[in-house]
Amino acid sequence: MNIAIFYGSTTCYTEMTAEKLKVLLESDPALPEGSSVSLHNIKQQPLQHMQDYDVLILGISTWDFGELQEDWEAHWDDIAGVDLDGKIVAIFGMGDQIGYTEWFVDAMGMLSDAIAGQNCQRIGFWSTAGYEFEKSKAVTPDGEWFVGLALDEENQYDQTDSRLLGWTSQILAEMTELTS
């Protein structure tokens, strides 16, 4: 199984999270033998390269009042041209639930919407329990789940590592279920 983490990062938090995620995936005994995990900064790597992998983990942060991170914004129109047919896709998003409580991890929701029409298998939905925010485009209609892992390095940095560890186990189990 070839796994790729594609991310955009302005202040390095998303990049550092992608790097931690890579280490966690590679060190988890549930990772199928012979699998590889690679990192791709979308500032330097065209989104078309997503087509070369079986599993995609997409990292995005939300800026200001629900805006896309600049590297994702620069390549936003390219998403529609990427064939995700048959791919397994998980998303993680960075945001600030206190300072931007009405737009918490909105970019993650926007990215989820951008790939929604593709014939890919989505994994990695994460509970909204334990977060305090008013609104988010990244929440499922029932309000119980984010469309991926939501992280807040501004207000809940002390929970990032445990959330990443839990999410890593979760997505590996979901990948295994889908591929067996």
Confidence of residue 51 (pLDDT cuts 50, 70, 90): very high
Domains of the chain: 2-179 (3.40.50.360)
Report the percent of the chain where pLDDT is more than 90: 98
pLDDT 10s digits, 75-87: 999 999 999 999 9
Exposed e or buried b per residue across 61-100, where buried means at least 16 C-beta atoms within 10 angstroms of its C-beta: bbbeebbbbebbeebeeebeebebeebbbbbbbbbbbeeb
- pLDDT attached to residue 41: 97
- pLDDT attached to residue 118: 92
Residues 6+ apart with CB under 8 A from 82: 47, 48, 50, 51, 118
Report the pLDDT averaged over residues 59-88. Answer: 96
Q: What value, to the nearest 5°, has the Cα angle with vertex 168 and ends 163 and 172? A: 150
Q: What is the reported pTM? A: 0.96
Question: Does 180 score more than 90 pLDDT?
Answer: no
